[in-house]
Amino acid sequence: MKKIKWCIIGAGGIADRRAIPALLCDKQNEIVAVMDKVDAVAKQIAEKYGVEHYYSNAEEMLAAVPCDAVYIATPVFCHYEHAMLALKYNAHVFMEKPLALNYKEGKKIVDAFKSKNKQLIIGYMMGYHNLHCKAHQLVQAGKLGSINTVRLQFSCWYPEIPGAWRQQKSMSGGGCIMDLAVHCMELFYNITGDRIAECKSFFGNKTFSYEVEDSAVITFRSKNGIYGIIDVNFNIPDNCSSAKLEIYGTEGSIYAEGTLGQEEAGRLKYIYSPQGAYEAQQNRSVAKPQLFYGKKGNIYLKQFKAFNKLILSQNRDYTNADRALEIQGICDSIYNGK
C-alpha cells in the first residue's frame, strides 16, 4: 500500500481535536511534519502524535520535508496564502471550510489547483454522515416525491472572546453564516443535488457585540424550485441547540435531529405517506415512521479516505471545490444584500 505523506499547517485547533486523530486511524497516512505559527503548539502536537518534524514557518516546512498532501486548518484569512504555498510545493490539499474569505479569493485558489492538476478538497465532512447519506439516497430515489421545502438549523454558544479571529470580519469573512450556514448549504447541495438560486436573509447581532453576525435566517429558492430555510446562531446555548434537517416532499418527509455536527450521531425519521384526496379530518397519526440512527463512525476519516482515493488515482475531481466556491459566492451575495 502506498503511504501518503502529510504535512499539517495550523496544528492546534480542529487539526488536533479531529483531523490528526482521524488521519492516524488510517495506516495509509503518515504525518511527516506539523506546523503552527505558535512554536510551542507545533512542538506539543508533534510530541503528542509522535511526528518527527515540527515548524513555526510553513514554507520552511514544505521546502524541507517532501510530502504528497497538506492538511490546512488555519483561520480563514490564511487559507489563500497556505493553499497557494502548498500548491507551489506541488502538494494536493485538504483544507478546512470555508474555502476562503470571499468568492474572488476562493476562485483564485480553485483555478490555481485546476491549472496544476492538483486535488483540492474542502472539509465539508457532514455529507459523509451515514444519516445524510441515507437522506441523499431517499431523496434521489424519489422516496419523498417532489421536494417542496427544506429546513436546516445549526447553532452553538459563541460568546465574546478577546482577539478571537472568528469574531473579526477581516479574519473570518463573517460570523455564523461563514462558520455554520456554509455547512448547511453544502448539505443541501449534497443531499438534493440541487443548487441555491436566490436568497433573502436577515442577519445581525442580537446578543453579542463582536463585529460579525451572531444570528442569521436565510431563506432561499433553488434552481429546481425548492424553498429552503437555513437558521444559524452563535447565541443559543449548546445544550439548547438541536441541529435539525427537515425535508418535505409530496409523498414523504425526513426529519433528522442531531446529525449536523462533528459526530456521526443523531437520528433520522422518514415517513412515506402519499396522499390521495383532500382529507378534511387531517389525521396525522396513521403514518408509520422509519427510524435510522447515527453509526458513531468518524466522518473526518471518511472524507480523508475519499481524498486519498482521489489523489492516488490520476483523475481529479473538483465537484467539492466548485461547490465550496459557489457557496462562497452565495455568502458574498448575502453579506452584500444582493
Ligand X SMILES: NC(=O)c1ccc[n+]([C@@H]2O[C@H](COP(=O)([O-])OP(=O)(O)OC[C@H]3O[C@@H](n4cnc5c(N)ncnc54)[C@H](O)[C@@H]3O)[C@@H](O)[C@H]2O)c1
175 binds ligand X (CB under 6 A): no
96 binds ligand X (CB under 6 A): yes
Long-range contacts of 161-164 (CB under 8 A, 24+ apart): 164/210
User: Binding to ligand X (CB under 6 A): which residues in 121-160?
Assistant: 123, 125
84 binds ligand X (CB under 6 A): no
**Pairing assessment for the beta strands 4-9 and 196-204 based on DSSP bridges:** unpaired
Question: Which amino acid type is present at position 81?
Answer: E
Rg of the chain on CA atoms, in Å: 21
Distance in angstroms (rounded) separating the CA atoms of residues 29 and 27:
5
Task: Return the number of the residue (200 or 295) whose C-beta is nearest ligand X.
Answer: 295
Stretch that binds ligand X, among 59-67, 72-80, 139-147, 231-239 (CB under 6 A): 72-80
Residue 295 · residue 315 · CB < 8 Å? no
85 binds ligand X (CB under 6 A): no
74 binds ligand X (CB under 6 A): yes
Residue from 7, 22, 73, 99 touching ligand X (CB under 6 A): that is: 73
Reduced to 3 states, what is the DSSP secondary structure of residue 231?
strand
Stretch that binds ligand X, among 11-19, 111-119, 222-230, 308-316 (CB under 6 A): 11-19
Residue from 14, 112, 133, 310 touching ligand X (CB under 6 A): that is: 14
Residue from 10, 252, 258, 294 touching ligand X (CB under 6 A): that is: 10
Q: Where are the alpha helices (DSSP H) in the chain?
A: 14, 20-23, 39-49, 58-64, 79-88, 103-115, 130-140, 169-172, 176, 182-192, 299-312, 319-335
**Pairing assessment for the beta strands 196-204 and 215-222 based on DSSP bridges:** antiparallel
Q: Mask: binding to ligand X, 219-258, rule CB under 6 A, as x and -?
A: ----------------------------------------
Number of residues that bind ligand X (CB under 6 A): 21
Task: Return the number of the residue (37 or 305) whose C-beta is nearest ligand X.
Answer: 37
User: Binding to ligand X (CB under 6 A): which residues in 290-329?
Assistant: none
Report angle CA 36, 39, 45 to the nearest 5 degrees. Answer: 65
Give min distance, CB of 287 to ligand X, in A. Answer: 34
Give min distance, CB of 100 to ligand X, in A. Answer: 10
Distance in angstroms (rounded) separating the CA atoms of residues 316 and 309:
10
Give min distance, CB of 120 to ligand X, in A. Answer: 14
Distance in angstroms (rounded) separating the CA atoms of residues 73 and 59:
15
Give min distance, CB of 222 to ligand X, in A. Answer: 24
Residue from 6, 8, 12, 102 touching ligand X (CB under 6 A): that is: 12
Distance in angstroms (rounded) separating the CA atoms of residues 301 and 93:
15
Distance in angstroms (rounded) separating the CA atoms of residues 292 and 294:
7
Name the residues that contact ligand X, by CB under 6 A. Answer: 9-14, 36-38, 41, 73-76, 78, 96-97, 123, 125, 179, 262
